[in-house]
Amino acid sequence: MSQEQSFTLDGQPVSFEDGQSIMVAARAAGIYIPHLCFNPEFKAHGSCRVCLTKVNGRIQASCATPAAAGQTVESETEELRDIRCGILQMMFVEGNHICPACEKSGACQLQAVAYYVGMLEPHYPHFYPRRTVDASHPDAVIDFNRCILCELCVRASRDVDGKNVFAVHGRGIHAHLVINTPSGRLGATTFSITDKAAQVCPTGTILIKHRGYESPIGRRLYDRQPVDVAGDVAQVPESQGGRRHD
């Protein structure tokens, strides 16, 4: 029988299994580490950097850092909260994230994580390029202005749906989500609202038509519980108020 392995996270011992990341082990122990691009159904991506932790004195992405026996991991420190806050502030000004005007308000993971880390104002001037809204699909709308480049829809469409509908082109400020068709329109694809890719977006980028405001603001997932209690939108069963597009 193998000996139980553990590391400490903010002074608390956390057991882990071989091959688990710090993020996965923390989730299994019921400990929340803020994140956006992480989804337990996919290989860790490490693109959003919101899940940064200090591991034995070095700052690393917890979703992509293997857990190891004896590690000393810090997450809830003032330094890391400030870093996360800065990352989120930049996300908000690099896209059209005006929460009071967004149908996803109250059920948006980006908004919920920002509240969790104490990011209450964007701080920087907005400088995002104006991008299109694609309503060509009969059942869904894509607002490219709200994409945070987590690539969850890219991975879901490629690895689960087997359709490869989405991709990210460009680098840096020029990086943007695209549709893999000659026209670049979602309506020209085989995308369906039953696809996994339609369920994983942490913002209001992908919205289902004809369902707007089915759950009123004030009664949505993160209106009722903070993100560290409610969890990821895509991981919460409908019976618990987690329907992806409300």
Domain boundaries in the chain? 5-76, 89-223
pLDDT of residue 243: 38
Q: Which CATH number is associated with domain 5-76?
A: 3.10.20.740
Which CATH fold would you assign to the domain 89-223? Alpha-Beta Plaits (3.30.70)
CB 162 within 8 A of CB 196: no
pLDDT of residue 218: 86
Q: Model-level pTM?
A: 0.89
Token pair of 152 as six digits: 């969850």
Confidence check: pLDDT of 2 > 70: no
Task: Considering only residues 15 and 212, tell me which one the structure prediction assigns the higher pLDDT.
Answer: 15
* Residues 159-207 pLDDT 10s: 999 999 999 999 887 889 999 999 999 999 999 999 999 999 999 999 9
CB 29 within 8 A of CB 40: no
* Residues 109-163 pLDDT 10s: 999 999 999 998 888 988 877 888 999 999 999 999 999 999 999 999 999 999 9
Q: What angle do CA 150, 152, 158 make, to 5 degrees?
A: 135
Percentage of the chain surpassing pLDDT 90? 72
* Residues 92-116 pLDDT 10s: 998 889 888 888 999 999 999 999 9
